[in-house]
């Protein structure tokens, strides 16, 4: 029997899984590993959100199948969020759908709008679902840069002129995972104009919309006039409200894409557990102080990490947003490559990071550091790194 399944053959080994397996083995053996690898928030959601979950879960009629596209109250809550945060009006019935995290949403939309052989433009480096969601759907990926400079626009023009068939979809994600790069509203204005001219759908992943620092709020592509003609945007409650395991996200924007995605989802799932959706309403509609608290938390961790690692001999550019730092390998160890360096850092310094090559070939030479440990642990990680670097003469 042939067990070489078509879609599985198209997926390469998950590089980051190698480091994750080593981390798990080390922890099982009793080692104290400081885990800066996975972007897994270490803070709980607000108490009123947990209380709402428990309240609704206690109701006898709350345990049946839910609506695949999300309960009406939650879609209204997301529309209200866009109105107050971005000044964007959304129709909760036709322009909002609830997803099980932005990751599932991107994969569902990829299946809804692409056919085998379609060409999709995706950043490199990027979060894996931005490419592999489409690869699983049968599409072909053409990489474009992640850094939003003039080389980015030249790459888009080149892709449209020299790719057969012409690309039909472009994925963007700012603040970027993994590079933490950001854009301003002028970037999105230029992007919408380009997409309209070239008849390309734009999928914007705005998962880190509220984790911006230094007083520069992250814009939404939906703020641009005409964006709904070409774009869908994904947001997530994972980082904003510390609800990663709850798997709550949204897609908003173009009615045709939202309708296609909603139809595909109706065949695949019955929606998230109703009490979770009710609790998500409480998060979006209730007190928003946790949003500022989380932003301040990650900003302080960023400052501690950059300062402590710098004193340890590893200079890391301070990220402008997100919960990640995109760190070039220490020059004396750059020859190792990001995967081998990550393995040695885990073994010798007891610090787990994510190898940049796991986010695409252009991620080689970097590691992604997640600021998911407290300030004391970040300083401990820096001390461990300093000891390791001194041992190898770096």
Give residue 8's Cα distance to chain centre.
23
Cα separation, 325 vs 380, in Å, equals: 17
pLDDT digit string, tens, across residues 82-136:
999 999 999 999 999 999 988 888 999 999 999 989 999 999 999 989 999 999 9
- If you average pLDDT over residues 169-183, what whole number do you get? 96
Half-sphere exposure of 153 (CA within 13 A, CB side): 10
User: Residue 10 has what pLDDT?
Assistant: 74
Tokens found for residue 32: 């104290």
User: Residue 17 has what pLDDT?
Assistant: 78
Question: Residue 324's closest CA among 205, 248, 239?
Answer: 239
pLDDT digit string, tens, across residues 311-349:
999 999 999 999 999 999 999 999 999 999 999 999 999
Kindly tell me if the per-residue pLDDT of 11 is higher than 80: no
pLDDT digit string, tens, across residues 44-58:
999 999 999 999 999
Q: H or E stretch including 236?
A: strand 231-236
Q: Which residues make Cβ contacts (< 8 Å) with residue 80, sequence separation at least 6?
A: 284, 285
Average pLDDT, the chain: 93
| This prediction's pTM | 0.93
169 bridge partner residues = 120, 201
Half-sphere exposure of 277 (CA within 13 A, CB side): 25
CB of 355 closer than 8 Å to CB of 338: yes
Tokens found for residue 349: 């310094």
Kindly tell me if the per-residue pLDDT of 162 is higher than 70: yes
């Amino acid at each position: 029997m042939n067990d070489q399944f078509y879609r599985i053959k198209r997926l390469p080994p998950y590089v980051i899984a190698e480091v994750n397996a080593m981390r798990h083995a080390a922890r099982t053996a009793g080692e104290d590993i400081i885990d800066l690898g996975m972007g897994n928030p270490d803070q709980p959601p607000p108490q009123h959100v947990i209380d709402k979950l428990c309240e609704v879960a206690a109701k006898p009629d709350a345990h049946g199948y839910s609506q695949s596209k999300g309960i009406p109250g939650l879609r209204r809550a997301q529309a209200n969020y866009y109105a107050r945060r971005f000044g964007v009006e959304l129709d909760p019935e036709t322009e909002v759908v609830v997803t099980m995290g932005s990751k599932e949403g991107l994969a569902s939309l990829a299946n809804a709008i692409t056919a085998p052989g379609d060409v999709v433009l995706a950043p490199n480096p990027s979060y894996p679902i931005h490419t592999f969601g489409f690869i699983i759907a049968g599409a072909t990926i053409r990489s474009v840069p992640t850094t939003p400079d003039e080389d980015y626009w030249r790459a888009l023009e080149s892709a449209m002129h020299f790719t057969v068939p012409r690309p039909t979809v472009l994925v963007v994600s700012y603040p970027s995972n993994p590079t933490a790069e950001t854009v301003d509203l002028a970037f999105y204005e230029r992007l919408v104009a380009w997409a309209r001219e070239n008849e390309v759908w734009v999928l914007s992943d705005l998962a880190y919309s509220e984790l911006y620092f230094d007083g520069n709020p992250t814009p939404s592509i939906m703020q641009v006039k005409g964006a709904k003609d070409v774009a869908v945007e994904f947001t997530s409650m994972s980082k904003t409200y510390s609800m990663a395991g709850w798997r709550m996200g949204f897609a908003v924007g173009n009615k045709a894409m939202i309708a296609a995605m909603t139809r595909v989802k109706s065949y695949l799932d019955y929606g998230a557990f109703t009490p979770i959706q009710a609790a998500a309403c409480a998060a979006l509609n209730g007190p928003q102080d946790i949003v500022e608290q989380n932003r301040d938390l990650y900003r302080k961790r960023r400052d501690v990490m950059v300062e402590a690692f710098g004193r340890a001999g590893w200079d890391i550019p301070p990220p402008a947003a997100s919960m990640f730092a995109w760190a070039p390998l220490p020059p004396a160890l750059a020859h190792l490559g990001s995967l081998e360096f990550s393995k040695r850092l885990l073994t010798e310094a007891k610090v787990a990071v994510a190898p940049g090559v796991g986010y695409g070939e252009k991620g080689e030479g970097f590691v992604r550091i997640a600021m998911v440990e407290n300030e004391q642990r970040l300083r401990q990680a820096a001390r461990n790194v300093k000891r390791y670097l001194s041992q190898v003469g770096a």
